[in-house]
Amino acid sequence: MLNINNLQVEVGGTTIIKGLTLAVPAGEVHAIMGPNGAGKSTLSYALTGRDGYEVVGGTATLNGEDLLDLAPEERAAKGLFLSFQYPLEIPGVPTLTFLRTALNAQRKARGEGEISVPDFMKLSRDVAKKLGVTPEMMKRPLNVGFSGGEKKRMEIYQMALFDPRFMILDETDSGLDIDALKVVSEGVNALRGPDKGMLVITHYQRLLDHIKPDRVHVLAGGRIVDSGGPELALALEADGYDRYKDAA
Amino acid sequence: MALAELTLSAGEAALLNAFPPTEAGDAARAQIAAEGLPNRRVEAFKWTDLCAALADGIPESDGSAGLIPACLQDALVLDFAPDGFGLEGEKDLGLIIETEDSLELEGAGPLATLAAGFAPRAVVLRVTQSQSRPVVLRRHPGAPMRVRLELDAGARLTLIDTGLATAGLSTGLLEIEIGAGAELVRYSLQNGDTQAIELTHTAVDVADTGRYHAISLMFGGKLARAETHVTLAGEGASCLIHGAYLLSGHTHADMTTKVVHASPNGQTRELFKGAVQDRARGVFQGKILVERAAQKTDARQNHHALMLSEGAEIDAKPELEIYADDVQCAHGNTIGALDDQALFYMRQRGIPEAQAKSLLVEAFVTDVFEAIEHEGVREWFSELARMWLEASSS
């Protein structure tokens, strides 16, 4: 599914990711944990093609297709989704307009027809109910005036609506209280599937109580310095990241 | 020491011959002979150099008056053509239309003098009772327009002024008196092209609790300038002035406003938004003057603009001048680029870059149109803005 080989990424002339290799097979959820400044968000932006995150070496493919030469919107149409740590407010663009525009743009890029307005309304309502997204939220401009929890719910809502093949969740637990965390985690778990993959980026173990990973990797100093099963996350929670200081 | 002789440009010399032999024409001739056209050394024109724009003479007129949208089919249309003035549509009771060959000038400044000078006569509209039918002022390319509009106490009128000159010099002068409790709602569309020079001066005087409510949309031209001078003369008088400018190519649009609060309890609401790309230039000059007598004035001015390309230019001069001590006045002015983070966020969701930009710009400017009460006009302006966005992002 997602294959990253010896990836190197520069931001503003500084190398942040220094040769990262990682493979997430279809059907699996992998967690990336690491201290602040390890390059976790840089990895998510480099994979999704944000300007300023310059890949200077290595490869990244999704189902064998090269990602790195594609524009961000082309990667999205290939089924790559990033749930943002800080979802953006888009003033003046109603949520429903935004969602329908994005969904149709993805479908068009894949050579599929536009979704009709009634079909879209039904789809958006069905998904909204499951994630506690209210009709009031849908009427407002995207994320404007939303609480931190509402913004994260809206991210997962979009994830469910667009039905991507590979999902990157960047610090999805930050800013969530325990109830919101449950709702969001249930939403994420419902999107797991045999032909889908997920990369869960988090600083704390807490999220992984709710979204159980198949593998856990430790990112420090721009490299994967340790990998293991879910027990690795528990060990990190107990011991912290100190023992990777030298590795970084 | 002898004063240096003023050397007239080809354009200034051509103007001297172009004014009709009227009092106002003579006044305009005298002004140009004495001072020339305002250039960038004149403070109020420092970003809009009229002298340079007309340096080579008066450009040939081209284009059309534009179509009146279906939502205004019931309107009374006042047609201003280079060779005269005509009426189309039905006129309701309470609207008196006359022409005057000689009227004292109410506006101030070179643009007002110029526009008065070009107009062979003024069309005088007197509104004695509220009009349900809108009035459209349709300007043909190169046509001089002068309109005197008087709203009697309590009368209400919706006025639309529009034109579609692609080349030539078009001038407009509107002198408006809004009586006590009366209301003028005005929608202006300036939709020119890079060879058109369009100059409009509006002078408004508002009596007690009267209201001037104006929303405009400008696409610029070789040089387009809309000046609005409002005097809130009566107690509790108010004005709302909203404007949007969308500029691309080599166009230039200038929105210059001055609101004078002369009496207590007046209210001003100004919101201007612009998006400028390529080598285009947008100018906003907004002055609010609160006189000593104008206690309890509540005035707000906002101008926000987006630079969509490196070579674009936006010049803004917000000015508050306050002589009363018990007032609420606020202004805000920002000029920036599109938010990169928002753009990336939208692209990550699959929206192509050009479309994402369009959506963001549309969202940015459309709150200017929210004050448009006429649903059809609001849709018309929004559609024109969308068409501009589509054309400019392709």
| CB neighbour list of residue B93: distance below 8 Å, 6 or more residues apart | B129
Residue from the list A77, A84, A92 with its beta carbon closest to the beta carbon of B367: A92
Cα separation of B279 and B262, whole Å? 40
Enclosing H/E stretch for B363: helix B353-365
How many Å lie between the alpha carbon of B103 and the closest alpha carbon of chain A? 46
Helices B375-393 & B353-365 angle (0-180, nearest 10): 150
pLDDT (0 to 100) of residue B296: 97
Q: Is A96 on the interface with B (CB under 8 A)?
A: no
Write out chain A residues lying below 8 Å of B340, CB-based: 51
Chain A residue numbers with beta carbons less than 8 Å from the beta carbon of B350 are 73, 76-77, 102-103, 105-106, 109, 162
Contact list in A for residue B367 (CB cut-off 8 A) is 92
- Quickly state the pLDDT bin for A38 (edges 50, 70, 90): confident
Domain residue limits, chain B: 10-333
Q: Cα(A198)–Cα(A192) distance, rounded to whole angstroms?
A: 8
- B335, β-bridge pairs: B305
Say how many CA atoms lie within 13 Å of A65 toward its Cβ: 13
Mean pLDDT, range A124-131, rounded to an integer: 84
Question: Is B346 at the interface with chain A, CB within 8 A?
Answer: yes
pLDDT computed for residue A233 by the predictor = 85
> Are B350 and A82 inside 8 Å of each other by CB?
no
Measure B306 CA to nearest chain A CA, in Å.
Answer: 14
A51 to chain B, any CB pair closer than 8 A? The answer is yes
Checking if the pLDDT of B276 tops 90, the result is yes
Euclidean distance between CA atoms B59 and B51, whole angstroms:
13
- Please return the burial class of B211, using the count of CB atoms within 10 Å of its CB with bins 0-12, 13-18 and 19+: buried
Report the predicted TM-score, pTM, of the whole model to 2 decimal places: 0.87
- pLDDT of the residue at A150: 86
Q: For residue B155, is pLDDT > 80?
A: yes
Measured CA to CA, the distance from residue B320 to residue B331 in angstroms comes to 8
Asked if A192 has any chain B CB less than 8 Å from its own CB, the reply is no
A85, closest residue in chain B (CA to CA)? B345
**Tokens read off for A158:** 């979009």
Average pLDDT of span A56-69:
95
Whether the per-residue pLDDT at A248 is higher than 70: the answer is no
User: What whole-number distance in Å separates Cα of residue B266 and Cα of residue B231?
Assistant: 10
Helix (H) or strand (E) holding B15: helix B10-18
Total domains in chain A come to 1
- Token readout for A24 is 């997430």
Q: What are phi and psi of B364, to 5 degrees?
A: -65, -45
**DSSP per position, B140-169:** -TT-EEEEEEEEPTT-EEEEEEEEEEEEEE
Residue B324's pLDDT band (cuts 50, 70, 90)? very high
Q: Is residue A31 packed enough to be buried (19+ CB in 10 Å), middle (13-18) or exposed (0-12)?
A: buried
Q: Does B382 touch chain A (CB under 8 A)?
A: no
pLDDT score at B394: 63
Q: Does the structure show a pLDDT above 50 at A172?
A: yes
- For residue B273, which of B367, B390, B176 has the smallest C-alpha distance? B367
Nearest chain B alpha carbon to A44: B348
Q: Looking at residue A247, what is its pLDDT?
A: 58
SS3 B181: coil
CB atoms within 10 A of CB A168: 25
* Alpha carbons A51 and B67: distance in angstroms, whole number: 44
Structure tokens at A80: 């790559």
Determine phi and psi for B65, rounding to 5 degrees: -85, -10
Distance CA A22, CA A5 (A): 7
Q: Report residue B190: phi and psi, to 5°.
A: -115, 110
Q: Which residues of B278-297 are buried (b: 16+ CB within 10 A; e: fewer)?
A: bbbbbbbbbbbbbbeebbbb
Contacts of A128-131 with CB under 8 Å at 24 or more apart are A128/A157, A130/A160, A130/A187, A130/A190, A131/A156, A131/A157, A131/A160, A131/A183, A131/A184, A131/A187
Residue B333 C-beta-side C-alpha neighbours within 13 Å:
13
On whether any CB of chain A is under 8 Å from the CB of B367, the answer is: yes
ipTM score above 0.85: yes
B363 reaches A (C-beta below 8 A): yes
Q: What is the pairing mode between strands B95-100 and B122-127?
A: antiparallel
Q: Answer yes or no: do B353 and A71 touch at CB < 8 A.
A: yes
- Of A126, A121, A41, the closest CA to residue A82 belongs to A41
pLDDT band at B56 (very low <50, low <70, confident <90, very high): confident
Q: Which CATH number does the domain housing residue A17 bear? A: 3.40.50.300
Return the pLDDT at B57. Answer: 83
pLDDT at B1 over 50: no
Band of pLDDT at residue A245, cut at 50, 70 and 90: confident
**CA atoms lying within 13 Å on the CB side of residue B53:** 28
In the numeric block, which tokens belong to residue B182? 């009366």
What is the nearest CA distance from A158 to chain B, expressed in angstroms? 9
From CA B297, how far away is CA A26, in angstroms rounded? 66
By the CB < 8 Å criterion, does A114 face chain B?
no
A32: left (phi over 0), alpha (psi -120 to 50) or beta: beta
A-B Cβ pairs (cutoff 8 Å, strict):
75
Strand ranges inside chain B, DSSP E: 62-64, 76-81, 84-88, 95-100, 122-127, 135-139, 144-151, 156-178, 183-190, 195-206, 211-218, 223-232, 238-247, 252-261, 267-276, 281-290, 298-307, 313-322, 328-336
CA-CA distance, B78 to B72, in Å (whole number)?
Answer: 13
| pLDDT confidence bin for B41, thresholds 50/70/90 | very high
Which of A47, A70, A73, A146 best probes binding to B when mutated, by most B CB atoms within 10 angstroms? A73
Look at residues B286, B285, B295, B284 and name the one whose alpha carbon lies nearest to residue B261: B295
Q: How far is B329 from chain A (nearest CA, A)?
A: 25
Residue-range definition of the domain harbouring residue A125: 2-244
Q: Do A98 and B355 touch (CB under 8 A)?
A: no
d(CA B223, CA B52): 10
Closest residue by Cα to residue A89 from A42, A140, A53, A43: A140
The answer to whether A144 faces chain B, any CB pair under 8 Å, is no
Lowest mean pLDDT among A64-73, A202-211, B278-287: A202-211
At residue B223, the pLDDT reads: 95
Residue B338 touches chain A, beta carbons under 8 Å:
no
H helix or E strand, kind and range, residue A82: strand A80-83
Chain A interface includes B366 (CB < 8 A) = yes
Cβ separation B344–A73 shorter than 8 A: no
**Using alpha carbons only, how large is chain B's radius of gyration in Å?**
21
The residues pairing with A215 across neighbouring beta strands, listed in sequence order, are A30
CB B385 within 8 A of CB B366: yes
- Interface touch A92/B351, C-beta < 8 Å: no
pLDDT at position B341 is 92
Q: What is the mean pLDDT of residues A222-241?
A: 87
Q: Please report, as a single letter, which amino acid is at residue A203.
A: H
Spatial strand order in the sheet of A14-24: A14-24, A2-11, A53-62, A65-66
| Residue A148 pLDDT greater than 70, yes or no | yes
Alpha-helix runs per DSSP H in B74-226: 110-118
Residue B9 has what pLDDT? 86
Residue of B59, B206, B158 whose CA lies nearest to B375: B158
Chain A residues touching B344 at Cβ < 8 A:
50-51, 72
Per-residue pLDDT, B2: 46
Task: Please state, for a pLDDT cut of 90, what percent of chain A lies above it.
Answer: 56
